[in-house]
Structure 1
Amino acid sequence: MPILPLRRTLFALACLAALTLSQAQADTVINNANGYTLTAAGHLQRFAALAFDDSGKLLAVGSPTQVARKAAKGARHIDLQGKTVLPGLIDAHGHVFGLGAIASGVMLYDSTSLQAAVRSVAEFARAHPERSWIVGSGWNQEIWQLGRFPTAAELDAADSARPIWLRRVDGHAGWANSRALAQAGITRETQDPAGGKIERDADGNATGVLVDNAMELMNAVLPKPGETENRAALDGALAQLAKVGLTSVHDAGIDQVQDRLYRDYADHGKLTVRVYGMIFDTTEDFDALSKNGPLNSYAGDLYALRAVKLLSDGALGSRGAALLAPYSDAPDTRGLLFYPDGAMWAKMEKAMRAGYQVNVHAIGDAGNHQILDGYQVLQKRYPGADLRHRIEHAQVVQPADIARFKTLDIVPSMQPTHATSDQNMAEQRVGPERIKSAYAWRTFLKQGSRIACGSDFPIESPNPFEGIHAAVTRQDSAGLPAGGWYRQQAMTVTEALRCFTLDAAWAAHQEKVIGTLEEGKWADFIVVDQDLFKVAPSAIGKTRVLQTWVAGKPVYQEK
Structure 2
Amino acid sequence: MKRNFFKHSLLFCMSSLILTAADFYQNGNIYTVDSNFSKADSMVVDNGKIVFVGKEAEAKKYLKGNDRVINLEEKTVIPGIVESHMHFRGEGEKLLALDIFMKDKKTILEMVELEAKKLKPGEWITGRGWNQEVWENPQFPSKEDLDKVAPNNPVSLTRACGHALWTNTLGLKEAGITLETKDPVGGEILKNSKGEPLGILTDTAMNMVRGKIPPLSNERKQEAMKLAQKNLFSLGITSASDAGANLEDISNYKALYDKGELDIKVYVMLGGAEVANQFYPNGPQPNLYNGKLNISALKLFADGSLGARSAWMLDDYSDRVGHKGNGRYSDEEIYQYVKDARKNGFIVATHAIGDAANRQTIEAYEKVLKEMPWDDHRFRIEHFQIVNLDDISKTINLGILPVMQAVHATSDMNMAEDRVGSERIKGAYAWRKIIDMGGKIANGSDAPVELVNPFYGIYASVARKDHNETPKNGWYPEESMTREEALKSFTIWSAFSEKKESIKGSLEPGKAADFIVLDRDIMVVPEKDIIDTNVLLTVLDGKEVYKK
Tell me the residue number matched to 1:30.
Answer: 25
Distance 2:474 2:141 in 1: 31
Q: Secondary structure at the match of 2:65?
A: strand
Structure 1 residues 300-309 or 344-353, which shifts more? 344-353
Q: Secondary structure at the match of 2:145?
A: helix
Structure 2 residue corresponding to 1:123, chosen from 104, 114, 124:
114
- The within-5 A match list for 1:536-547 is 536-547=526-537
Tell me the residue number matched to 1:52.
Answer: 45
1:450 counterpart letter in structure 2: K
Q: Secondary structure at the match of 1:350?
A: helix
Aligned 8 A contact 1:396 1:435 in 2: yes
Distance 1:231 1:480 in 2: 39
Distance 1:261 1:319 in 2: 34
1:287 shift after superposition: 2.3
Distance 1:203 1:85 in 2: 59
Aligned 8 A contact 1:26 1:51 in 2: no
Tell me the residue number matched to 1:329.
Answer: 319
Distance 1:219 1:297 in 2: 34
Structure 2 residue corresponding to 1:512, chosen from 499, 502, 509:
502
Structure 2 residue corresponding to 1:272, chosen from 253, 263, 267:
263
Tell me the residue number matched to 2:12.
Answer: none
Aligned 8 A contact 2:122 2:154 in 1: no
Structure 2 residue corresponding to 1:553, chosen from 536, 543, 546:
543
2:24 counterpart letter in structure 1: V
Q: CA 1:67–1:268 in structure 2 vs 1: closer, same or farther (change >3 Å)?
A: farther
Tell me the residue number matched to 1:16.
Answer: none
1:241-285 CA deviation, whole Å, 9 max, x = no partner? 0000001012111111111222232233322321011000101x2
Aligned 8 A contact 1:26 1:52 in 2: no
Tell me the residue number matched to 1:232.
Answer: 223
Tell me the residue number matched to 1:74.
Answer: 66
Distance 2:199 2:122 in 1: 21
1:309 shift after superposition: 0.8
1:72 counterpart letter in structure 2: K
Aligned 8 A contact 2:156 2:210 in 1: no
Distance 2:345 2:259 in 1: 29
- The within-5 A match list for 1:97-496 is 97-112=89-104, 114-129=105-120, 132-283=123-274, 285-384=275-374, 386-496=376-486
Q: CA 1:254–1:546 in structure 2 vs 1: closer, same or farther (change >3 Å)?
A: same
Distance 1:410 1:231 in 2: 34
Aligned 8 A contact 2:129 2:449 in 1: yes
Distance 2:448 2:122 in 1: 22
Aligned 8 A contact 1:26 1:70 in 2: no
Distance 1:176 1:144 in 2: 18
1:26 shift after superposition: 5.8
Aligned 8 A contact 2:462 2:480 in 1: yes
Q: Secondary structure at the match of 2:83?
A: strand
Distance 1:189 1:331 in 2: 24
Distance 2:124 2:528 in 1: 41
Q: Secondary structure at the match of 1:157?
A: helix
1:434 shift after superposition: 1.0
Q: CA 1:147–1:265 in structure 2 vs 1: closer, same or farther (change >3 Å)?
A: closer
Distance 2:339 2:122 in 1: 43
Tell me the residue number matched to 1:15.
Answer: none
1:454-493 CA deviation, whole Å, 9 max, x = no partner? 1101111111111000000001111111110000000010
Q: Secondary structure at the match of 2:233?
A: helix
2:27 counterpart letter in structure 1: N
Q: What TM-score comes out, normalization by structure 1 length?
A: 0.93
Aligned 8 A contact 1:94 1:251 in 2: yes
Distance 2:483 2:328 in 1: 36
2:65 counterpart letter in structure 1: K
Give unpaired runs (5+ residues) of structure 2: 1-18
1:122-147 CA deviation, whole Å, 9 max, x = no partner? 11222344982100011111112434
Aligned 8 A contact 2:222 2:256 in 1: no
Q: What TM-score comes out, normalization by structure 2 length?
A: 0.94
1:62-118 CA deviation, whole Å, 9 max, x = no partner? 111222210112111111111111110111000111011112211222422x33321
Aligned 8 A contact 2:378 2:401 in 1: yes
1:209-241 CA deviation, whole Å, 9 max, x = no partner? 101111111122121111221111011100000
Q: CA 1:25–1:223 in structure 2 vs 1: closer, same or farther (change >3 Å)?
A: closer
1:234 counterpart letter in structure 2: M
RMSD between superposed Cα atoms in Å: 1.5
Q: Secondary structure at the match of 1:137?
A: strand
Structure 1 outlier segments of 4+, above 4 Å: 128-131
